[in-house]
Amino acid sequence: MKKGILSAVFMLAAVISTQAQAPKTPVAPKPADSTAAKKPASKIKSYDQVITKEAKSSKGLFTTHQVGDKYYFEIPKKHLGKDMLLVSQIAKIPNGLGGGYVNAGTSSHEQLIVWEKFQEKILIKIKSYAAVAPDSLPISLSVKANNYEPTLYAFDIETYSKDTSSIVIDVTKFYTSDIPAMSGLDASLRETHKVRNLDASRSFIRSVKSFPLNIEVLQDFTYNATKPSATAYTETISMQMNQSMILLPEKPMKPRLFDQRVGYFTQKQFDYGSEELKSDQKTYIQRWRLEPKDMAAYKRGELVEPIKPIVYYLDPATPMKLRKHMKKGVENWQKAFEVAGFKNAIICKDPPSKEEDPDFSPEDIRYSVIRYVASTTRNAMGPSVSDPRSGEIIESDIIWYHNHLRSYRNRFLIETAASNPKARTLETSEEDIGEMMEMVISHEVGHALGFPHNMGASSSYEVENYRKADFTQKEGISASIMDYARFNYIAQPEDKGVRYIRQMGPYDNYAVNWGYRLLPDAKTPEDEVLTLNKWVEAKAGDARFRFGNQGTTFDPSSQTEDIGNDPVRASTYAVKNLKYVAKNLASWTSNKTNDYEDLIELNDELLSAWSRYVGHVTTTVGGVYEQYAKPNQQIASYVVVPKATQQTAVKWLLANAFSNVDWLINREVVTHHMMGYTDRIRSLQASPLNRMLSFETFARLDNSGLSTANAYKTVDLCQDLRQGLWSELATGAKMDGFRRNIQKAYVERMKYLLTEQMTPSPFAREFYNVSQSDVRSIVRGELKTLLASLQTAKGKYADKETAYHLADCIDRIQTALNPTKAQK
């Protein structure tokens, strides 16, 4: 031990001696390891550390992995920067969410995304084609600088594939977080249901599936909410969301410019490369990509099959007896595509067996499927997914809810049984119910082909034609399957051989040809416009080829659930039929089944039908006909409904909606079920009254004087309603409970008009300053006139109900006219 110490001392002395003898020149310090000092060790692990032997993997657009409770995407570098579509769709929701206006299958968000690499992160960027300019133009730099794309999410790179061609990221947190841009609960729903937060402990990924062109992620989300739509005591909202990520075509389809005279769903862009003095808004239609196998034959006008037809597969869950009707509903569109030059353009197939197609899955974007949903919902839907760059429809799934045929059975009976003996039963024939289903599928497929509702199609036919067998059997009951014209409710008991169920119409052929016929010689969308215009103008003046927008609330020729070109005459026939049905409803239902369930359900349907017929007439008052046109057509876009027509409508409503409603009372239903029946009828009567006595109606009536000398004015309407609703004051005639109710509703509505302001609405096109208009003056004048009549008439009535009613109305009017005095 000591020997070792002595050796160390001698060595140290030698070193010191050497240093002392060395020259005193400066020695440069050894540079520090800058990498070790400043750069932290990489967090990227080896592939085997991340994707372990326990991983459950699936190959597709991205290879996906599940390792325990974590999910990974293995993203090929070749897909970085490629356009993809992220579609957020509600898969399952609790009852009553959003007041029942939100459904399973509803798409809450569709957004274009790209995956980008930045340092050791992968970003999802939301990309927009709302503002575009060719890269060759200098302005493209400004478009990019002023439309910087937001980052939806940032992921750490976990590892690289063994050949380094792919990047692996952990997507677990991304798909279990409450990301507003992917949520099924928007701000309005969160406020309505008082959603506090997402409960992470009850939220998870249910499944991840990868297919060649898409990835599907099913999420279970549970929220803490003070006012949930169902099971309130749980303070919980649970729902499922489906997130679809879809690879878009490398080369976008050549788009077709939209023309509002032909109804199509659309995509919009602002083109900053335009030669115009402003950004040029371009709107493209949504449609499938159809290309002929033989272009030369197609140019010669021959029918040619498409390279890739539109194919729908039936859900394996579809009942066998319904499959033929679904197939026919899809393939009804084949004739329309033949008009556009394509043979067998749309096909419906049975679900393939495992042997036929082992890869078949309804979630695979390569397959469009008619989903058969076991649900009590009475509905069907035809959503589609489209490329925002061009409007190309990529895929669509038609959704059919099991109970939907129950609604059609009910309406078939209520609307046609007066003249159609086959409808006077709860056991609708398989032939009729199958045809109804066929037409519903055709309607929903129409949506999936790019067509919105055409609510003007049914008004192209004269009312009297609906009573003719030859006409209805050939033309159906609407010029388009895309109208809500389900049944022929006009035909009378003496009319024989008429058609009752809707069918495809001439507008459908026309719209398919306009949107899908190729113009091979046109190089750009703009090159097509001249030809497309000629096609439209060739049909101008023929009401069968007019498109009527669903969004209008003022056009009596473009309404939902109506048929015929004259709402007053059509509703006269319809109400006459309803009265026949009302008398016989018990004998067709409860008397046969010894049960009141169907009677009660159908009676409620009858009241709804009556309300619809009344509503069709109501739209005529303050009505304006809307027709899209271009300047060279020299057609007025807006035409006010003539004064005489509006006055006729008011008289009809006074006679059929505001009086003589005793026939609506079904004694069997009142006796055995419904409480509040009187109030239900009161509500149905008050609705059309409030629509007429509204600021929106008054605004249109005021404007109508600018386009026609003999206009129906606000003062005319108010005077006609006052005299009609209170006609008993002059004669001393008896007022029943329904009459007294509608009179009180009138007084309350006039009070509202005297005190409230018009609220801007996204659904109304009219807005004006009520306080500075004639509205208050007219309402005040009408109330004073009515007050004088009430004070004169109050002594004429001996029965206490009417006497008290008149005295009450007097007090209400006095309070409305002099609120300050009433408070004192």
Residue-wise pLDDT for 560-569, tens only, equals: 999 999 999 9
Q: Are the C-beta atoms of 241 and 91 separated by less than 8 Å? A: yes
How confident is residue 18, by pLDDT bands cut at 50, 70 and 90?
A: very low
pLDDT reported for residue 8: 41
End-to-end CA distance of the chain: 115
Residue-wise pLDDT for 311-357, tens only, equals: 999 988 888 999 999 999 999 999 999 999 999 999 999 988 888 88
What are the DSSP calls for 552-606, one per residue? -SS-TTS-TT--SS-HHHHHHHHHHHHHHHHHHHHHHTHHHHS-SHHHHHHHHHH
How confident is residue 824, by pLDDT bands cut at 50, 70 and 90?
A: low
Joined together, the tokens standing for residue 711 give 């206009």
Using CA atoms, how far apart are residues 249 and 213, in angstroms rounded to an integer?
Answer: 10
**Bridge partner residues of 116 (DSSP):** 123
Q: Are the C-beta atoms of 439 and 478 separated by less than 8 Å? A: no
CB neighbour list of residue 70: distance below 8 Å, 6 or more residues apart: 170, 172
**Does residue 624 have a pLDDT over 80?**
yes
The mean pLDDT value for 282-306 works out to 96
Q: Rounded to 5 degrees, what angle do the CA atoms 200, 201, 203 make?
A: 60
Task: Tell which wins on pLDDT, 25 or 246.
Answer: 246
Write out 216-284 in H/E/C secondary structure: EEEEEEEEEECCCCCCHHHCEEEEEEEEEEEECCCCCCCCCECCCCCCCCEEEEEECCCCCCCCEEEEE
Joined together, the tokens standing for residue 286 give 């949504």
Crossing angle of helices 597-618 and 404-416, in 10° steps, is 70
Using CA atoms, how far apart are residues 795 and 802, in angstroms rounded to an integer?
Answer: 10
**Does residue 36 have a pLDDT over 50?**
no
pLDDT more than 70, % of the chain: 89
N residues, the chain = 824
**Bridge partner residues of 247 (DSSP):** 84
pLDDT reported for residue 41: 59
Nearest to 663 by CA among 736, 738, 583, 732: 583
Using CA atoms, how far apart are residues 159 and 523, in angstroms rounded to an integer?
Answer: 46
**Bridge partner residues of 159 (DSSP):** 168
CB neighbour list of residue 276: distance below 8 Å, 6 or more residues apart: none
How confident is residue 550, by pLDDT bands cut at 50, 70 and 90?
A: confident
Residue-wise pLDDT for 400-410, tens only, equals: 877 788 899 99
pLDDT reported for residue 206: 94
pLDDT reported for residue 600: 92
Using CA atoms, how far apart are residues 222 and 27, in angstroms rounded to an integer?
Answer: 68
pLDDT reported for residue 761: 66
C-beta neighbour count of 410 within 10 angstroms: 21
Q: Are the C-beta atoms of 73 and 169 separated by less than 8 Å? A: yes
Give me the residue label for tokens 């609708």. 428
**Does residue 822 have a pLDDT over 80?**
no
pLDDT reported for residue 131: 57
Question: pTM of the prediction?
Answer: 0.86
Give me the residue label for tokens 């002099």. 818
The mean pLDDT value for 19-42 works out to 49
How confident is residue 707, by pLDDT bands cut at 50, 70 and 90?
A: confident
Long-range contacts of 271-279 (CB under 8 A, 24+ apart): 271/132, 271/133, 272/131, 272/132, 272/133, 272/139, 272/140, 272/142, 272/143, 273/132, 273/133, 273/134, 273/137, 273/139, 273/140, 279/131
The mean pLDDT value for 573-598 works out to 94
**Does residue 806 have a pLDDT over 70?**
yes
Residue-wise pLDDT for 185-242, tens only, equals: 988 899 989 999 999 999 999 999 999 999 999 999 999 999 888 888 899 999 999 9
Q: Which DSSP symbol is given to 550?
A: T
Joined together, the tokens standing for residue 814 give 């006095």
Write out 418-432 in H/E/C secondary structure: CCCHHHCCCCCCHHH
C-beta neighbour count of 105 within 10 angstroms: 24
Joined together, the tokens standing for residue 415 give 């609307």
C-beta neighbour count of 416 within 10 angstroms: 25
Using CA atoms, how far apart are residues 292 and 303, in angstroms rounded to an integer?
Answer: 9
Q: What are phi and psi of 701, to 5 degrees?
A: -65, -40
- CA-to-CA separations, 721 to 136, 333, 715, 727, in angstroms, rounded: 65, 48, 10, 10
How confident is residue 7, by pLDDT bands cut at 50, 70 and 90?
A: very low
pLDDT reported for residue 372: 81
The mean pLDDT value for 574-582 works out to 97
Joined together, the tokens standing for residue 18 give 């050497």
**Does residue 102 have a pLDDT over 90?**
no
**Does residue 739 have a pLDDT over 90?**
yes
The mean pLDDT value for 354-361 works out to 85
Q: Are the C-beta atoms of 126 and 111 separated by less than 8 Å? A: yes
Joined together, the tokens standing for residue 207 give 């499944």
Is 58 exposed, middle or buried, given 0-12, 13-18 or 19+ CB atoms closer than 10 A? middle
Every domain of the chain and the residues it spans: 55-248, 280-406
Assign 447 to helix, strand or coil: helix
Using CA atoms, how far apart are residues 78 and 93, in angstroms rounded to an integer?
Answer: 37
Using CA atoms, how far apart are residues 145 and 138, in angstroms rounded to an integer?
Answer: 12
Q: What are phi and psi of 489, to 5 degrees?
A: -95, 5
Q: Is the alpha carbon torsion for 766, 726, 779, 712 positive or negative?
A: positive
- Mean residue pLDDT across the chain: 88
The mean pLDDT value for 88-111 works out to 79
**Does residue 130 have a pLDDT over 50?**
yes
Give me the residue label for tokens 């206006």. 101
pLDDT reported for residue 277: 46
pLDDT reported for residue 275: 56
Q: Are strands 368-373 and 398-401 parallel, antiparallel or unpaired?
A: parallel
Residue-wise pLDDT for 457-473, tens only, equals: 999 999 999 999 999 99
- CA-to-CA separations, 746 to 52, 660, 739, in angstroms, rounded: 74, 17, 11
Residue-wise pLDDT for 630-643, tens only, equals: 888 888 889 999 99
Using CA atoms, how far apart are residues 12 and 34, in angstroms rounded to an integer?
Answer: 32
What are the DSSP calls for 369-400, one per residue? EEEEE--S---EE--EEE-TTT-BEEEE-EEE
Q: Are the C-beta atoms of 247 and 210 separated by less than 8 Å? A: no
Crossing angle of helices 714-725 and 737-755, in 10° steps, is 150
Q: Are the C-beta atoms of 208 and 64 separated by less than 8 Å? A: yes
How confident is residue 281, by pLDDT bands cut at 50, 70 and 90?
A: confident
**Does residue 271 have a pLDDT over 80?**
no
Give the CB-side neighbour count of residue 681, counting CA atoms within 13 A: 24
Q: Are the C-beta atoms of 665 and 606 separated by less than 8 Å? A: no
Give the CB-side neighbour count of residue 546, counting CA atoms within 13 A: 26
Nearest to 206 by CA among 85, 71, 89: 71
**Does residue 393 have a pLDDT over 50?**
yes
pLDDT reported for residue 98: 75
CB neighbour list of residue 668: distance below 8 Å, 6 or more residues apart: 586, 590, 596, 599
Residue-wise pLDDT for 761-789, tens only, equals: 665 667 778 888 999 999 999 999 999 99
How confident is residue 45, by pLDDT bands cut at 50, 70 and 90?
A: very high
What type of residue sits at position 791?
Q
Q: Are the C-beta atoms of 323 and 312 separated by less than 8 Å? A: no
Crossing angle of helices 714-725 and 643-656, in 10° steps, is 20
The mean pLDDT value for 159-183 works out to 95
Using CA atoms, how far apart are residues 547 and 266, in angstroms rounded to an integer?
Answer: 15
Residue-wise pLDDT for 419-460, tens only, equals: 999 999 999 999 999 999 999 999 999 999 999 999 999 999
**Does residue 14 have a pLDDT over 50?**
no
